[in-house]
Structure 1
Amino acid sequence: MTLSVGVLGYRFMGKAHANAMARLPMFFPDAPDVERSVLVGRDEGALSDAADRLGFDSISTDWEAVVDDVDVFYNLGPNHVHAEPSIAALEAGTPVFCEKPLAPTLEEAERMVEASREAGDDVPAGCAFNYRFVPAIRYAKGLLEAGELGEVHHVRGRYLQDWLVDPDAPWSWRNDEQLAGSGALGDLGSHTVDLVRFLVGSDDLAGGIDRVSGQLRTFVEERPVEGSEGSAEPREDEDDGSVERDERRPVTVDDAYSAQIAFESGAMGTLEASRFAAGHKNDHAIEIHGSEGSLRFSLERLNELEVLRGDDRGYETILVTDEDDPYVDRWWPPGHVLGWEHTFVHENYEFLRAVAGDREDGRFRPNFEDGLAAQRVLAAIEESDERGEWVETE
């Protein structure tokens, strides 16, 4: 069976998923055959160049003509275009894989989930929380499910980056509330909330998180448009008149957030994310402390998991690269580490198998329901910041 795939978006995430699809037949021969059929975007010239580089057969500037003409539709565009194309594809009976956060707003996420429910279990709808597919995270999940950490008391999650520390770093759609929904909260916090749900939460709509107290902050109120004189990254065509010199646009989303969370189980947690954490490039870290032990993980050392097993001798660093570790038997000999890109290979493998009906349980997780669960927590954090008080997540 060969699945024809249409992909909306050809920049950061488009490259990541196209690369994953190209790697599947080499390392995961039991994955369905995939035909990178059509690449969707607005700029025909840029689309053609991207299609050649990423291995797509054709291009289209009209997603409506694509969603019911392919076997699978990947929605990898900016947040504000997540809802309509995804809903249209599901209504056409086409499985959908959508980037995170599921939508800019809770209301749109709810509409997407309703479309998924109406499409039924035979039409998988996946949400792109790729960090669930890090082998070390899977290893941690196994420890927690086996009860090796005992009763969970504390959960700490942070996602720190520094790409906006410079006040002259150029404005992008990620700085606009209408296009992105939120800033570090949705872009980075959605990943952390999903990992917390995956590791220690539950399958209900809030993922076992009962209430939250949050704070959001914007440090730089406006930024130069790329190509204007004030931009840190001028364009080659900055003098063609298309961008006014010294043009600046307002930043209408958060640069950082922090939150306290209370679990229904009685556990307590803290979450934070920032684009202003100097020295942190992509530091997504999780710590979990239980009655019998603890663990900690950082994406910047994604092959390692630090584990404390019920004594005071300190943490043991486990290199999660053995053949019996999750997914690692498909790659290299023990000690030959994996990288960020491999999480997308694992994610695509599981999703496409669900589309082809090759999974025993017939389902893919994380799905749109998981995306909505994360969105409920994010919305509660934002509401808490506005109200200045604890907010329940349901």
Structure 2
Amino acid sequence: MGVKQKVRVGMIGYQFMGKAHSHAYRDLNFYFDNPLEAEMVVISGRNEEAVKEAQETMGWQSYETDWRKVIERDDIDVIDIVTPNHTHAEIAIAAAEAGKHIITEKPLALTVDEAERMLAAVEKNGVKHMICHNYRFAPAVQYAKKLIEDGRIGRIYHWRANYLQDFIMDPNFPLVWRLKKEVSGSGALGDIGAHSLDLARFLVGEFSELTATMETFIKERPIGEMTGGLSAKGDSSNMGEVTVDDAVTFIARFKNGALGTFEATRFAGGNRNKNKFEINGEKGSIRWDMENMNNLEVYFSGDEEGLQGFRLINCTEEVHPYAGAYWPPGHIIGYEHTFIHLIDEFLRGIHGNYQPSPNFVDGVRNQKVLEAVEKSAEEKRWIELD
């Protein structure tokens, strides 16, 4: 394979998603013959003790406590943003103006206005950009996309999606940044519902209109902070107001005539990360569940009578997307590999001078749907989407 060209990465942020992205950079070239190799140059965070530990643990060469210094460095080609949502716009726009390629966690921004300014900045400066909707990159989801594009299920009639978690059900779970509108933008809607709507756009198409309802079950919580993953600690003697949704449900119409139903909640007891969808078409149906991410359930109405029903496909054969880079059939891969596939596409876009997806265009379109959901819930009416 020879000596690979390096692409030098600076990461802003270092917690849950920082770990996932760092792992992807480290393992990418172990599995895939990407023309580029990520050099993990610098990681940034405000807490010097914590970011220094992250630098050493995750394999970065150095650390900074001011993200602006990372962007100013001449030895950085890519800025990877894994910070809370309210910081995305400022960091991304500064990175674009410095000529850096950008990958950022979802949702793209707090508002449509912020998202559009981010898109304008990357287009003006000619840099490559991606938004990290990693679930698109599960082999089973990519195979579902192929089946749909090949016409195997025909015209799509229905999309239904559930994204269910339960990690904040305890009323004593603290008021972390994910529960503050000024930091996160929204609650279950933007945190996990955004993944469902991005998958819907990827597999079915664009939205035409929707109607929604949202609910906050626990109105007040102890002040606290995240401590890694989805864990947190708080002070029960100091309470604050929850300003985002705990749960959201909405119905949508797609421009191609399909109907969609969506539910996202962090109050579904027993569901740690139940991200699933079902698509029904004129010739068949498709089901997927992230908790069994290697499996795709497929039904074809043209099957012989008496043998019809959902079949289970374990998407680990060499014919399945990405699977040939890993292990023999049936030797499953995991959550972390979806990030490897996303980073692989990002670096190929940089090397091949094409714009990979999902990108800031998708981020803006997703942001418009998020905004429409909130507007519909507030005004209790259908909202049309441009």
- Closer, same or farther: CA 234–124 of 1 in aligned 2, 3 Å: closer
Which structure 2 residues correspond to residues 1-394 of structure 1 after superposition, within 5 A?
1-69=5-73, 70-120=76-126, 123-201=127-205, 208-226=206-224, 246-311=237-302, 313-357=308-352, 362-394=354-386
| Aligned amino acid, residue 80 of structure 1 | H
* Paired residues, number: 371
Looking at structure 1, the residues matched to 43 and 344 of structure 2 have their Cα atoms a distance apart, in angstroms, of 20
| Aligned amino acid, residue 173 of structure 1 | W
Deviation at 1:225, TM superposition (A): 2.5
- Closer, same or farther: CA 117–30 of 1 in aligned 2, 3 Å: closer
Looking at structure 1, the residues matched to 98 and 138 of structure 2 have their Cα atoms a distance apart, in angstroms, of 32
Q: What SS does structure 2 have at the residue aligned with 1:307?
A: strand
Deviation at 1:30, TM superposition (A): 2.7
**Alpha-carbon deviations, 1:348-388, whole Å to 9, x = none?**
1110121223x7xx221000000111111110010001111
| Aligned amino acid, residue 297 of structure 1 | W
Does the 8 Å contact 2:176/2:232 carry over to 1?
no
Deviation at 1:221, TM superposition (A): 0.4
| Counterpart in the other structure of 1:205 | none
* TM-score computed with the length of structure 1 as normaliser: 0.92
List 4+ stretches of structure 1 deviating above 4 A.
none
Deviation at 1:81, TM superposition (A): 0.6
**Alpha-carbon deviations, 1:97-129, whole Å to 9, x = none?**
010000111111111111122122xx1111000
Does the 8 Å contact 2:161/2:278 carry over to 1?
yes
Deviation at 1:33, TM superposition (A): 1.5
Deviation at 1:68, TM superposition (A): 3.9
**Alpha-carbon deviations, 1:326-349, whole Å to 9, x = none?**
001111100000110000011111
Deviation at 1:285, TM superposition (A): 0.7
Q: Structure 1 vs Structure 2: percent identity of aligned residues? A: 44
Looking at structure 2, the residues matched to 292 and 68 of structure 1 have their Cα atoms a distance apart, in angstroms, of 54
Give the strand-richer structure, 1 or 2.
2
What residue ranges of structure 2 are gaps of 5+ in the alignment?
226-230
Looking at structure 2, the residues matched to 68 and 215 of structure 1 have their Cα atoms a distance apart, in angstroms, of 44
C-alpha RMSD of the superposition = 1.5
Q: What SS does structure 2 have at the residue aligned with 1:101?
A: coil
Deviation at 1:245, TM superposition (A): 5.4
